[in-house]
Amino acid sequence: MLRIVLFLATNLAVLFMAAIAMAVLTALGIIPPDAPYISMLVWCALFGFGGSILSLAMSKTIAKASTRAKVIETPSNDVEHWLLSTVERQAKQAGIGMPEVAVFDSPDPNAFATGMFRNNALVAVSTGLLRLMSRDEAEAVLGHEVSHVANGDMVTLTLIQGVLNTFVLFIARIIASQFDRGRFMIYIALQMAFGVLASIIVAWFSRRREFRADAGGAALESPAAMASALNRLRAMRDAPSQLPDNLTAFGIRGEGMLKLMATHPPLEERIARLQAQG
């Protein structure tokens, strides 16, 4: 759940810096202010895809730092042994390299997978998930995250984000160029506004990929275990959330406009889809 919010937040920050970099290069004459549309589109693609790829390349480092995740290098207890052996088994079944496995301290049941390469990813679970779910349920969640890696979901979303970033920079640039005064501030404001809209589109694609990861978790463990894990989340949905207010859309809740930013479909829809496939 956290992997997308971290990716989107990093991408917005990088996109903002790309906009400033393009403005500076224009001021220095490196990018002609009256460059033809095709030439400008090429520059925007360079920065747009560059920012998106940089976000993905930084994703593991940022995820570890922001969640204070502890990577299990040498297991020190039974739970850590079980986590490593489970992910190792699932990774072999999925045909990917062994990911790093980490645990982060959070009372909410949460997990995420991230990384630039299928054979060098990170899978992390929260202490809340380990405490509140049975081992069968937790293994299904781990299978869900390993499936994200095997399906190349982060790379797919990076490419989508790169395309969107390109048009965010390009359209903002074209509109801002029509103003004689305050052009730079208008450009930055438009770029940030369009960047938020682009994040909504990425979140929509993310919701579609969740169904596939649910199917993967069911295949790596069992449909019953995956359904039980989702039902466990649904049962806890009405409990007070410990997620920060600005992250609730990325947990198991999200109402009103927050639904547009939610990276996961409604639990009822995920459970129904899983039951239909089973």
φ, ψ of residue 104 in degrees (nearest 5): -125, 150
In a domain, 264, yes or no: yes
In a domain, 16, yes or no: yes
pLDDT, tens only, 198-252: 888 888 888 889 999 999 999 999 999 999 999 998 888 755 554 443 333 333 3
Q: What are the C-alpha distances in Å from 215 to residues 124, 129, 171, 266?
A: 19, 20, 38, 16
Does residue 4 sit in helix, strand or coil? Answer: helix
- To the query of whether residue 269 is one of the catalytic residues in this protein, the response is no
Query: What is the spatial distance between Cα 132 and Cα 186, in angstroms, rounded to a whole number?
Result: 48
What is the tally of structural domains in the chain? 1
Query: What is the spatial distance between Cα 24 and Cα 227, in angstroms, rounded to a whole number?
Result: 52
115: number of Cβ within 10 Å? 22
In a domain, 137, yes or no: no
In a domain, 108, yes or no: no
In a domain, 232, yes or no: yes
Query: What is the spatial distance between Cα 276 and Cα 230, in angstroms, rounded to a whole number?
Result: 15
Residues of the domain holding 22: 2-66+146-277
Per-residue pLDDT tens, the chain, 278 aa: give them: 455 555 566 666 666 677 777 777 777 777 776 667 788 888 888 888 888 888 888 889 988 998 899 999 999 999 999 999 999 999 999 999 999 999 999 988 889 999 999 999 999 999 999 999 999 999 999 999 999 999 999 889 888 988 988 888 889 888 988 887 888 888 888 988 888 888 888 888 888 899 999 999 999 999 999 999 999 988 887 555 544 433 333 333 344 446 777 778 888 889 998 888 76
Can you state the angle between helices 37-67 and 2-27, rounded to 10 degrees? 140
92: number of Cβ within 10 Å? 11
Q: Find the catalytic residue in 137, 139, 145, 221.
A: 145
Query: What is the spatial distance between Cα 251 and Cα 194, in angstroms, rounded to a whole number?
Result: 24
φ, ψ of residue 118 in degrees (nearest 5): -60, -30
Q: Alpha helix (H) ranges present in the chain?
A: 2-27, 37-67, 78-94, 127-132, 135-150, 153-176, 183-220, 223-235, 258-261, 267-277
In a domain, 15, yes or no: yes
Query: What is the spatial distance between Cα 151 and Cα 11, in angstroms, rounded to a whole number?
Result: 21
pTM of the model: 0.80
In a domain, 119, yes or no: no
In a domain, 25, yes or no: yes
Query: What is the spatial distance between Cα 230 and Cα 251, in angstroms, rounded to a whole number?
Result: 12
Long-range pairs, 177-184, Cβ under 8 A, ≥24: 177/33, 184/23
